[in-house]
């Protein structure tokens, strides 16, 4: 059972991607999710460089879409792209003391953002499975508080609570587990193709095992990078990957076809991740067509509406 809340709970999910903002309104039932609205802006909202003149075009367009939203939305969930956060791995286990955990995160902040202090960020730690070396590791997700402040200001007109703010890759895991229940206990690799980065992660039996963010210079190098990362993962972290799924706004048919050529001999299936596979929908024909074209872009947005499967330790 995924859901325990009251029937017809409506959630507005906002994915502030690096290319544009994606919106979805979801109705939550005890048996699952129903999509009742989906849309996107043509311009991005740059939360990281939150200057009014930089945000104006995207915000104006975003506000123009609000009049199309269904009524009776009760809560908001927000997804951030990896480019807006620091995701770092460090030794430790889930039983580490809160004070020691804070010291580790504070060290990561000092090394990566020496001009800032620990208090300038909000941090969450996720335990990850050990690799072949059996070392216990933790993954820190460190988000600037300025981004939270920008989100709250932008969303003030809703007068609704923000249930949570999460990164795209973890929400993608949730979307997969919900939409592919027959594969949720397998070892699965995810490749999120963005404009300048590839978000790479692996889960095994619903638990995170691996994460990396790799930059690329041109589209021709994307599949080579994915193959190199795959080889590293099966050499250092887990002997066999069962499935590989690709998603993201920069994913093309050409990239997916080449990825299938590179990886099909090593996994049972290589495919395009479908965010709507197990959802019901009450939307227009235009929206259905849009969903068929963008199903690989929406996993972070849809996954934000699904209860998290990964254990989290929130630092304050």
CATH number of the domain where residue 170 is located? 3.30.420.40
67: exposed, middle or buried (C-beta count within 10 Å: 0-12, 13-18, 19+)?
Answer: exposed
Q: Is the pLDDT of residue 6 over 70?
A: no
- 215 found inside a domain: yes
- 250 found inside a domain: yes
Mean pLDDT of the chain: 90
The domain of 234 spans 183-272
pLDDT tens-place string over residues 172-220: 999 999 999 999 899 999 999 998 999 999 999 999 999 999 999 999 9
Query: Rounded distance, CA 293 to CA 165, Å?
Result: 26
Question: Please, are residues 283 and 37 in contact by the beta-carbon 8 Å criterion?
Answer: yes
Q: What is the pTM of this model?
A: 0.93
pLDDT tens-place string over residues 235-251: 999 999 999 999 999 99
- 161 found inside a domain: yes
Do 214 and 115 reside in the same domain of the chain? no
Label residue 313 by pLDDT band (50, 70, 90): confident
- 313 found inside a domain: no
CA quadruple 302, 307, 313, 315: dihedral, nearest 10 = 60
44 vs 24 pLDDT, higher one: 24
Among 142, 158, 191, residue at a domain's last position: 142
How does strand 137-144 pair with strand 197-204? unpaired
Do 39 and 104 reside in the same domain of the chain? no
- 264 found inside a domain: yes
pLDDT tens-place string over residues 138-161: 999 999 998 888 888 888 888 888
Domain count along the chain: 3
- 63 found inside a domain: yes
pLDDT tens-place string over residues 258-310: 999 999 999 999 999 999 999 999 999 999 999 999 999 999 999 999 988 88
Do 198 and 66 reside in the same domain of the chain? no
Half-sphere exposure of 94 toward its Cβ, with a 13 Å CA cutoff? Answer: 9
User: Any idea which residue has 């995810």 for tokens?
Assistant: 190
Query: Rounded distance, CA 118 to CA 103, Å?
Result: 10
Query: Rounded distance, CA 233 to CA 229, Å?
Result: 6
Per-residue confidence (pLDDT) for residue 153, from 0 to 100 = 83
Query: What count of residues does the chain have?
Result: 316
- Using only C-alpha atoms, the chain has a radius of gyration, in whole angstroms, of 19
| 3-state secondary structure (DSSP) of residue 179 | helix
Domain containing 103 — which CATH number?
A: 3.30.1490
Per-residue confidence (pLDDT) for residue 112, from 0 to 100 = 87
pLDDT tens-place string over residues 27-61: 988 788 999 999 999 888 877 665 556 567 777 88
60: exposed, middle or buried (C-beta count within 10 Å: 0-12, 13-18, 19+)?
Answer: exposed
Do 199 and 245 reside in the same domain of the chain? yes
Do 303 and 209 reside in the same domain of the chain? no
Question: What mean pLDDT comes out for the span 105-123?
Answer: 91
Question: Please, are residues 21 and 15 in contact by the beta-carbon 8 Å criterion?
Answer: yes
Do 190 and 158 reside in the same domain of the chain? no
Do 255 and 123 reside in the same domain of the chain? no
Do 13 and 79 reside in the same domain of the chain? yes
Do 136 and 166 reside in the same domain of the chain? no
Do 164 and 59 reside in the same domain of the chain? yes
Do 161 and 286 reside in the same domain of the chain? yes
- 17 found inside a domain: yes
Half-sphere exposure of 154 toward its Cβ, with a 13 Å CA cutoff? Answer: 28
Per-residue confidence (pLDDT) for residue 15, from 0 to 100 = 96
Do 42 and 162 reside in the same domain of the chain? yes
Per-residue confidence (pLDDT) for residue 1, from 0 to 100 = 45
């Amino acid at each position: 059972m995924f859901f325990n809340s009251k029937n017809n709970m409506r959630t507005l999910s906002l994915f502030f991607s690096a290319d544009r903002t994606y919106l979805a309104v979801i109705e939550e039932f005890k048996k699952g999710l129903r999509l009742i609205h989906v849309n996107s802006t043509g311009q991005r909202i740059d939360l990281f460089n939150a200057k009014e003149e930089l945000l104006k075009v995207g915000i104006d367009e975003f506000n123009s879409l609000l009049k199309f939203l269904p009524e009776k939305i009760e809560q908001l969930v927000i997804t951030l792209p990896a480019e807006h956060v620091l995701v770092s791995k460090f030794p430790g286990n889930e039983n580490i003391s809160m004070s020691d955990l804070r010291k580790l995160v504070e060290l990561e902040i000092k090394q990566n953002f020496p001009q800032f202090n620990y208090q300038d960020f909000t941090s969450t730690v996720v335990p990850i499975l050990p690799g072949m070396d059996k070392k216990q590791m933790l993954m820190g997700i460190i988000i600037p508080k300025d981004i939270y402040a920008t989100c709250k200001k932008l969303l003030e007109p809703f007068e609704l609570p923000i249930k949570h703010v999460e990164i795209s890759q973890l929400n993608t895991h949730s979307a997969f587990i919900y939409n592919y229940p027959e594969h949720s206990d397998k070892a699965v690799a995810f490749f999120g193709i963005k404009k300048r980065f590839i978000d790479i992660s692996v889960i095994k039996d619903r638990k995170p095992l691996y994460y990396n963010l790799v930059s690329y210079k041109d589209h021709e190098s994307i599949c080579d990078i994915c193959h190199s990362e795959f080889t590293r993962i099966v050499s250092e972290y887990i002997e066999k990957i069962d499935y590989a799924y690709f998603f993201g706004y920069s994913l093309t048919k050409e990239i997916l076809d080449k990825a299938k050529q590179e990886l099909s001999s090593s996994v049972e299936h290589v495919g395009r991740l479908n965010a709507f596979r197990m959802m019901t929908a009450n939307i227009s024909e235009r929206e259905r067509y849009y969903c068929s074209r963008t199903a690989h872009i929406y996993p972070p947005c849809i996954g934000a509406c699904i209860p998290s499967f990964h254990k989290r330790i929130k630092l304050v």
